[in-house]
Each structure stands twice: as structure tokens, then as C-alpha cells.
Structure 1
């Protein structure tokens, strides 16, 4: 019982490769997300739940899904190396963070393999700061690096509720399609042509539903609202990440279970 285990060099074309990136060195407020990947997998495999998605796909020992364990990281940019290895096997990388800074090196490898892709970004924050605390690789900056280097064709952000004058100007500079939380309506359609990379920051959720976050930002989505959005997606997904779960702030593993549920439903959108 459980998710299949695999080394990256054993992956096959079309596999969904869950890879942990235990990295939080670019967190600005508090560390903790480096502890998250294995706890998310533990929650997926927890006896209190089951392996079915809500559309009745059984992920238990599913032949296309593999947990590859935590990557061994020599430094920040070895994240790109690990992602490149997954892509070279023909697999779809699903990266479990870790803080949101991991998305930039991942997208460097995605761009090498797929060219410019579209990004769908769930978050309370734009992560478009040019730098934060004199750090251009902060978890507040990955999409500034991605867009200024031309790694993405488009960037669509939903759930934003922390806009500043600087990040507003950055969004305009990079042509970001932004749906702020205050403007969200359930009827909003997320239609994106071409290959899509999904980056899911758990703080898009209100902390009432996900307390295990470094940054508590009131006024976010409920778990059910996020699941409804995911389940309506009809996209050509070529890679994903789920980031910013902080076990140090969690309550009884509540956020781990939410992260596990979202991971399962995102996988469902690929199968």
C-alpha cells in the first residue's frame, strides 16, 4: 500500500515524479518549509484517509506516480539539476517544497526542455519583488527572475491579496494577468492555451484552513474553493510545484492533510 518509490533514473516517459526539495534558505520571515516534503507524502499515505481523488482515480501503487524522495541539494541551483534529470527521463516533475524560491531554478530547467511555457500561479503574494532584504533569490522574487529572463510565455496569478506599489509596477512591466482575491468570482474561467506549469503556494488559502504557513494573510480561499478551481482546470500541464507548507506552525497536521489533498487533486488533472 502506498505510492510507488523510484529513483529518478528509473522513471519512465509520462510518469509523474514527486520530488522533495527540502530548501528554505531564501525564506524571509521564518524557516520551516524545508521539513515539509516528507510530511506531505506521509499525509497522502496516512491511514486516516484513502488514495482516491474525488473523480475516483486510485493513486495507490498507481503505475504512473512515483515518490522519488528528497533531492540531495549541494546548493540552490542544484534544484535545476535534479529537475533536468526528471525531464530527461520524459517524466512530469511535481516538486514539493520547500520555500517558493525553488520555482526559479525549476523553471530554468523547464525552459531548457520545453521552451517558454505558461505559468498558473496560486498565491497570496505576487513574488515579483526585484529583491527583498538585498536577496534577489528570496522566496519573494522568483517570478521577477523568471519573467526578466524570458523563461515564461505568460504568467497568470490568482488569489493575490498583498499587492504593493512596487509589485504592481513589476506586474505591469512583465504583462502579468493578475486576479486579486478581492476580484475573484467563482465563475472566473482559467483558460490558457499551450503547455502550463502550475506553481501552488499554500498561502493562497486562508490560514483558517491552513495554519501551517510562514505568512498568515487573512482573506484567502477556503480549501473547498481551491479544490473546485483545480477540478475545473483543463490544461496541458507539464510540471507543478507545491510550496510553503511550514510544519513548525501547523496544528495537529491539519495543513499537511490539506497539502496532501491538493497534491492528489492536482495529480488527477494530469492522469
Structure 2
């Protein structure tokens, strides 16, 4: 088990320059250690069994039992970890220095029950309660979007009702689907019913596609959510939108939930319910970077389905988006 502040080594080489001036976990640099070597953890960070002593942790929730169309998201965390070997230590765009700011590690996966979705939700809720009890901020790799419901149950237990930045092609506010209340199309309906969300501090960005009614987002608006359909995002920067979102969210706790199908399937085909005419990766970055300064208490990236991701580019995009999420957490150091 790596010591606090140590970097992972392969032979006698490691990223000495960064690790010698840091008291945090520092992944090895590809300048010295081949990317293809070693056990796949998120960003080649150290693995530890619990969140104790961590400011933030990458955690996988490998389920697709709540999926309504293409399966495969249970393999998402593994593929994201594999593609994350491309990540480096600094954010060249924002000049964030996460490994000079936070103690971060990969704490593995929730031990889900692939035969029982309700039991899986209970396991997720209990696992995240344990993570949050340590003061650690979870950065979650899905898994299908069902996982947001039990995670937000745990988050609200600690922080009370939270604001939500929800990036998705779908509102995920259905009541009952095929007779079931729990699935990847229902998590935010359940969250509202249980008082987990501060509804005036909820924004849904990128919603699109065909619907089961003339206005598929009527319920969201009725709760007080701000709904930003994808047509409002076409051909423009989303930086002005995010300035408004920061005002909407204020200083209270905020959760960020990013479904990879928010991006157009030309960029991210490896997902379960793709919809055409989506956001670009650039807009995805603008949304996440636009969360800088918010009181983020948790983030997730869901719905990567490797069987439909033949090039690995969907998982690679997901890994980069998760890195960007880490780079906007509170206490982040930025170089001028």
C-alpha cells in the first residue's frame, strides 16, 4: 500500500520532480514509466481500500441492471481506468495542479449485486455513506445512471438537499418504466420525492431526442428545475450559461452528474441510449470548468458502455472529463 505522499514506482523510476515537492499521492509520469505497464487504476493513482485520509477518491460502480436499451455499462469503470493511462499530472487548459492540491486515490469498486437492482442500490448507498463520512469527495465511474439515486441519498444524508448540475440527453425523471420505480430513467424523480434535491438549484443541460409526450420536460420545470434543451446549446459557447448556473447554485452544496450520452454519439458512441445532435466535447469541458468555484460535494460520469466503444474513445473522453471534475473541486491550486 503506497505511503502518503509517495508515488507509484516501476523499477527505480518515478516522477521525482513532482513527488519530491508534494505531500500528496502522485501518479507516475509517462516520461519515466510506460503507460502500458502496471495495474490499471484511475489515472495510475495508488489504490487503497478505504477513503480514509483522502480529500477525493475515484470509485467505480459497475452496474447496468437498470439499463433500458444497450447493456455493457457494468464494464465502464474498467475501461475508463484503462484509457486513463493517457492522463498527465497538470491541466494545461486551466493550469490546475490536482496532485499538489488534494490527496486522491482509486478506492476500487462498490461490490454490487448484479442479480438484484434494489439490493445494489442499498449497497451503493451504504458504501457512499462510508466514503462521505471520512470527508472525502467521491468521483464516481458508472455504471448506468440508476447509481445517482442511492449516491444522492448518501450525499443528502451528509449535506442535506443539494443543488444538481445534470448533464444528459435525457431528463431521467420518469415515474414508472415497465412497472419498475428504479432504473436509469427514474433516479431524479425518486430524488425529488425523497427531498434530496434543492429543486431551485437544479439545472439539466443537453436534453434532447424524441419523447413520450409533447413536452418531455414539463415535470422537471414544474419542480423548479432549469431545463436547457440541446437546441439552446447549438453553435455556441456554454461559458455564459455556466456563469448563470454558478449564480443559481450559490454557495450551497452541489452535485455534478454527467451522462456520457449528453455528448453527440459521433464523439461518444459507446453508450446505452444514444441521441443525435448532442453536445460537443468542448461544450462538455465548458460545463465542467464552469463549475469552478462551486461547493462540489460529489461528481459522477455514467453510461460508458465498452461493447459499443470499439475505439476506446468514449472511455478516453470519460476519463478526461473525470480528471476535469477533479480539477474544479474545492481547494484546487491553479498556476497563474
> Under TM normalisation by the shorter chain, which class is it?
over 0.9
Match runs of 1:12-27 below 5 Å? 12=53, 15-27=55-67
Is structure 2 residue 45 aligned with structure 1 residue 3? yes
Give the secondary-structure state (helix, strand or coil) at the position aligned to 1:4.
coil
Q: Is the 8 A contact 1:107 1:146 kept in 2?
A: yes
Q: How does 1:216-231 map to 2 (within 5 A)?
A: 216-231=274-289
Runs of 4+ in 1 over 6 A off after TM superposition: none
Q: CA separation of 1:88/1:258 partners in 2, compared to 1, >3 Å: closer, same or farther?
A: same
| SS of aligned partner of 2:300 | strand
Q: Kindly state the Cα deviation for residue 52 of structure 1 after the two structures are TM-superposed.
A: 2.6
Offset of residue 58 of structure 1? 4.9
Partners of 1:210 and 1:120 lie apart in 2 by 20
The range that moved more, 232-241 or 110-119, is 232-241
Mapped to 1, the partners of 2:218 and 2:230 lie a distance apart of 18
Once the two structures are TM-superposed, the CA of residue 169 in structure 1 deviates from its matched residue by 3.0
Q: Is this contact kept in 2: 1:32–1:247, CA < 8 A?
A: yes
Q: Does 1:265 align with 2:321?
A: no
Question: In structure 1, what is the equivalent of residue 185 of structure 2?
Answer: 140
Aligned-residue offset at 1:118: 0.4
Give the conservation status (yes or no) of the 8 Å contact 1:128–1:142. Answer: yes
Q: Give yes or no for the alignment of 1:212 onto 2:270.
A: yes
* Alpha-carbon offset, residue 173 of structure 1: 3.2
Of residues 141, 144, 148, the one that matches 1:103 is 148
CA contact (8 A) 2:145 2:184 kept: yes
* Contact 1:4/1:62 (<8 A) preserved: no
Please, what TM-score do these two structures have when normalized by structure 2? 0.75
Q: Report the equivalent of 2:254.
A: 196
Q: Aligned to 2:217, what secondary structure does the other structure show?
A: helix
Higher relative contact order (CA 8 A, sep 6+): 1
Q: Offset at 1:43? A: 1.4
**Counterparts of 1:207 and 1:17, CA distance in 2:** 28
- Give a deviation string over 1:241-264, Cα, whole Å, max 9, x none: 110000010021111110011011
**Residue 104 (structure 2) aligned to one of 56, 65, 81:** 65
Give the whole-Å Cα distance in 2 for the aligned partners of 1:56 and 1:68.
Answer: 26
Gaps of 5+ in 1: none
Tell me if 1:157 matches 2:204. Answer: yes
Task: Quote the offset at 1:66 in angstroms.
Answer: 1.0
Please tell me whether the aligned partners of residues 119 and 196 of structure 1 are also in contact (alpha carbons under 8 angstroms). yes
Give the match for residue 309 of structure 2.
Answer: 250
In the aligned structure 2, how far is the partner of 1:163 from the partner of 1:196?
Answer: 29
Would the aligned equivalents of 1:17 and 1:92 in 2 still touch at CA under 8 Å? yes
Contact kept? 2:217, 2:227, Cα under 8 Å:
no
- Output the CA distance in 1 between the equivalents of 2:284 and 2:98: 20
Using a 3 Å threshold, how does the CA distance of structure 1 residues 237 and 195 change in structure 2: closer, same or farther?
same
**90 and 60 in structure 1: CA distance in 2 versus 1, 3 angstrom threshold:** closer
1:224-243 paired onto structure 2 within 5 Å:
224-233=282-291, 234-243=293-302
The equivalent of 2:224 in structure 1 is 175
Q: Shift in Å at residue 60 of structure 1?
A: 6.3
- 1:41 is aligned to 2:81: yes
Bigger drift between 257-266 and 160-169 goes to 160-169
Structure 2 distance, partners of 1:52, 1:38, is 23
TM-score by length of 1: 0.92
Distance, in Å, in 2 between the alignment partners of 1:61 and 1:132 is: 45
Give me the CA root mean square deviation.
1.8
Per-residue deviation at 1:53?
2.0
